[in-house]
Amino acid sequence: MKYFNNCKTIEEIKSVYKKLAKQFHPDCGGDTKTMQEINTEYAFICAKIIKGENLTNEELNDKIRLSEEYKRIIDEIVPLVGIIIEVVGNWIWVTGNTYPVKDKLKGVGFFYASKR
């Protein structure tokens, strides 16, 4: 394990993934190979931690689905310029200059509320 060695919870994994995606995503100056390595480790460590929680098969499938959805959303919004991404519990909170990218945020499933 190269990127998620010290992660013990799904929340820690998500936090580390968000930081790595901002650093290594191809749209942010990183390279595809590194991002693929991160994505592979992300999927593996999520499954490993989730399976260790003694969940039913249905609960396990729900956790994996939500984890994959979280990763997909982060991948889509990391390249957006002028926004600040924060993780608040199970929420992905986006602030900053969101107005120019509001349609993109809505497209990935964000509820968009402008302060204007």
- Report pTM: 0.58
Mean pLDDT of 100-112: 80
Instruction: Place 23 in a pLDDT band, splitting at 50, 70 and 90.
Output: very high
Mean pLDDT of 27-56: 83
Instruction: Place 100 in a pLDDT band, splitting at 50, 70 and 90.
Output: very high
Which stretches within the chain are classed as H helix?
10-24, 32-51, 57-77, 102-107
Instruction: Place 88 in a pLDDT band, splitting at 50, 70 and 90.
Output: low
Mean pLDDT of 7-23: 90
Q: Where are the domains of the chain?
A: 10-107
